[in-house]
Every structure is written in structure tokens, then in C-alpha cells.
């Protein structure tokens, strides 16, 4: 089961109702055979733009982050369920990336003059290969003469 992160924007509601909403969402995750790793409350804040959902315009929302694991086949129905919940303004599900090793910093190489940069060297090599290919395509009259005996 892959890990997912759900960014939930609830309507601004009193505390007990928010708990109800979260419980609903959580129980839906458990129904699909998943489990919850963490729930973060990011608090109530102004939304960056006016969001209209379920026939109402919202300028404020309570932000929650839910980290959970569900089978990937259950994700689409779950998203559909959230879209029909009228207390949810907006929801976005992201896949949590695996632990990718961070590559070493390449800034030092990138700040070198163009002629010393490996990517520029590569580009020059590509151009050179292309020119060679075109030169090979050109017809060569192997007459052994340094002039053109026939009209072209």
C-alpha cells in the first residue's frame, strides 16, 4: 500500500462539527482497508483565492493534512467520496515520495564559464556529430581530379 498525503480544506465550522467531518473522512479510510499515519491541523486561514464549491463562495478555510495508506485501487472511490462531502471546500491527494537520496550540489560546476560546463560540452559534441553526418550525406565525386570535368 503506497503512502498518500491528503490536503483538506474544510469550511470554517465550530470545533465539534470539524471533529465530525474528520471522523467521517477517517472512517472512510478505515473502511477501504487503509490506515492513518498522522493528522496535522494547519489552522484556519484565508484561502489564496475565492473558492466556490457546493454553491457557496469561501474566503476562509480550516486546513488539515492527513497522511494515510490505502490500496491504490481504493483511491479513486475515496476521492469521489470526498468530492461529494459538502463540508469539504477543496481536497488534493499527493503521493508521498519514497526516500530519494539527495544528489550532491552541482552549483559549483554550473557557475563555471560555458566552455567548462559538461552540458555545454555535450551540446558541442551533438553539433559536431550532426555536421559530420551531413558531410557524409554529401555526394563525393571520386574522380581523383581537383576540378569538375562535367557540368553540374
Partner 1 sequence: MGRFRTNRFNPWTNLQKTIGQKKTEAIDGDVQVFKSEHLVNIPNPYEKEKRLCILCKMNIVPDYKNTRMLSQFISRFTGRIYGRHITGLCRHKQDHVEKEIKKSREAGLMPFYFRNPEFSHDPKLFDPDNPFRPHHY
Residues that bind Zn ion (CB under 5 A): 105
The number of residues in the chain equals: 152
**Residue 107 or residue 139: which is nearer to Zn ion going by CB?**
107
Gap between the Cα atoms of 29 and 41, Å rounded: 18
Q: How far is the CB of 95 from Zn ion (least distance, A)?
A: 24
Per-residue exposure over 48-67, b if at least 16 CB sit within 10 Å of its own CB, e if not: eeeeebeeeebeebbbbebe
Contact pattern from residue 67 through residue 86 relative to partner 1, giving x for each residue in contact according to CB under 8 A and a dash for the rest: --------------------
Closer residue to partner 1, CB minimum distance, 79 or 143: 79
Q: Is 103 in the site for partner 1 (CB under 8 A)?
A: yes
Asked if residue 3 binds partner 1 (CB under 8 A), the reply is no
- Dihedral sign computed on CA atoms, order 104, 110, 113, 117: positive
d(CA 11, CA 86): 9
Residues that bind partner 1 (CB under 8 A): 7, 9, 42, 47-49, 51, 61, 63, 65, 89-90, 92, 94, 102-108, 110-111
Amino acid at each position: 500500500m503506497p503512502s498518500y498525503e491528503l490536503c483538506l480544506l474544510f469550511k470554517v465550522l465550530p470545533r465539534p462539527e470539524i471533529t465530525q467531518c474528520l471522523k467521517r473522512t477517517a472512517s472512510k479510510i478505515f473502511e477501504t482497508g487503509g490506515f492513518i499515519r498522522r493528522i496535522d491541523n494547519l489552522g484556519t486561514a484565508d484561502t489564496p483565492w475565492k473558492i466556490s464549491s457546493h454553491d457557496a463562495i469561501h474566503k476562509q478555510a480550516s486546513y488539515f493534512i492527513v497522511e494515510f495508506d490505502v490500496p491504490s485501487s481504493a483511491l479513486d472511490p475515496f476521492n469521489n467520496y470526498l468530492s461529494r462531502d459538502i463540508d469539504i471546500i477543496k481536497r488534493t491527494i499527493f503521493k508521498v515520495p519514497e526516500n530519494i537520496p539527495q544528489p550532491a550540489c552541482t552549483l559549483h560546476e554550473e557557475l563555471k564559464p560555458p566552455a567548462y560546463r559538461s552540458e555545454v560540452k555535450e551540446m558541442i559534441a551533438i553539433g559536431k556529430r550532426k555536421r559530420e553526418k551531413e558531410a557524409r550525406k554529401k555526394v563525393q565525386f571520386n574522380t581523383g581530379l581537383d576540378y569538375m570535368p562535367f557540368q553540374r
